[in-house]
Amino acid sequence: MNANAAIFGCSGPELNAGEAAFFRDCNPWGFVLFSRNVETPEQLKRLCADLRASVGRDALIFVDQEGGRVQRLGPPHWRKAPPAHDFGKLYEREPRAALRAIWLNFRLIAHALRDVGITANFAPVVDIPVTGADPIISDRAFSRTPAAMVEMADACMAGLSAGGVAPVIKHIPGHGRASVDSHKALPVIADGLAALENSDFVPFKALAQAPMAMTAHLVLEKIDDEHPVTVSKTAIKRIIRDHFGFDGLLMSDDLDMKALDGDLSFLTRRALAAGCDIVLQCNGKMADMVKVAKALKPLSGASLRRAFVAQYMCEDAENFDAKQGLEEYNMLMAILDRDDRAL
């Protein structure tokens, strides 16, 4: 039987017997880890192995490891990576150095993730921040300039892919001008399509070859004024699939976020019916996972094909000298420190 169209979290640093039994029976396509699941490298290796054993296959395991304030693996066991905005500052001064530094940074991240068994990263953020918007994106974005964003996001994806970690672009079709944080409420984007076409949409259209993308829980008023993108068949088909040309695996953002209203079974059915290939449910609470599981269906057709492509992205990692890579990375980032001191 094909895996079911979900990515689930778990409750703590060890997989308990109830979770293992549930995952065995439900057979989700993948798993996601958060800070609550992370203690040490050895503990994390065991957890990843146990998650895969519960479904009897080499399932993808995801994490948010952007750097900056969104980094689930951190000191003392893992390097603290800078926010994307720092690379954008370097890009303004030395574009080639910045692109190389981004590649190295995410190649180092991939090396660290693969070492513990994590094979997919919810990065890069390609939302274009807009002045006056909610700060949920802000320094998580490389740039406010679409063309620069495309180059830097592409370097990020290349670094992750070289390390055998599949990237996920987010939050499609663009969260940068949202006036509220979708973790807390539903953003409504009232701007016309011309404004979006010249800014928010640019990176997603340019990076349509990405293997996976995560939806933004927001309403595009000029496309579908009743439904958030995640549950809008119109927005997913007209903008994401047709206009952007994105044919990768489309996953929902976390169904637990306050931007979405309704029972988790209801939301699961709506997201999958609207055109999401996979739903993401992160909190690790058994009662909530059961609600999602009741509405799931096995991956099939185009969704199954897209899932195979995403899995293929992380089958192998290229040879990499992490020590040498870190030395080069530090040398490049020193350009930014040097210039800041000179100001």
CATH number at 132 reads 3.20.20.300
pLDDT at 337: 77
Domain count, the chain: 1
253 is an active site residue: yes
pLDDT at 81: 97
pLDDT at 342: 52
C-alpha distance from residue 326 to each of 84, 109, 152, 320 (Å): 17, 11, 19, 11
Choosing from 77, 85, 183, 227, the catalytic residue is: 183
Beta bridge partners of 6: 279
314-343 pLDDT, tens digit per residue, is 989 999 999 999 999 999 999 987 766 554
Extract the tokens encoding 202.
């640019």
Extract the tokens encoding 131.
């002045």
Residue 1 reports pLDDT greater than 70: no
Angle at 300 between CA 295 and CA 306, to 5 degrees: 110
Half-sphere exposure of 231 (CA within 13 A, CB side): 20
Extract the tokens encoding 97.
């150095």
For residue 21, the enclosing domain spans: 4-342
Beta bridge partners of 169: 213
Angle at 66 between CA 265 and CA 269, to 5 degrees: 10
Extract the tokens encoding 276.
């999401």
Extract the tokens encoding 137.
């994106």
143-170 pLDDT, tens digit per residue, is 999 999 999 999 999 999 999 999 999 9
96-125 pLDDT, tens digit per residue, is 999 999 999 999 999 999 999 999 999 999
Q: What is the mean pLDDT of the chain?
A: 96
Is the distance from CB of 168 to CB of 251 less than 8 angstroms? yes
Residue 289 reports pLDDT greater than 90: yes
Please return the burial class of 114, using the count of CB atoms within 10 Å of its CB with bins 0-12, 13-18 and 19+.
middle
4-63 pLDDT, tens digit per residue, is 999 999 999 999 999 999 999 999 999 999 999 999 999 999 999 999 999 999 999 999
CB atoms closer than 10 angstroms to residue 16: 13
Secondary-structure percent of the chain, ordered helix, strand, coil, rounded to 5: 45, 15, 40
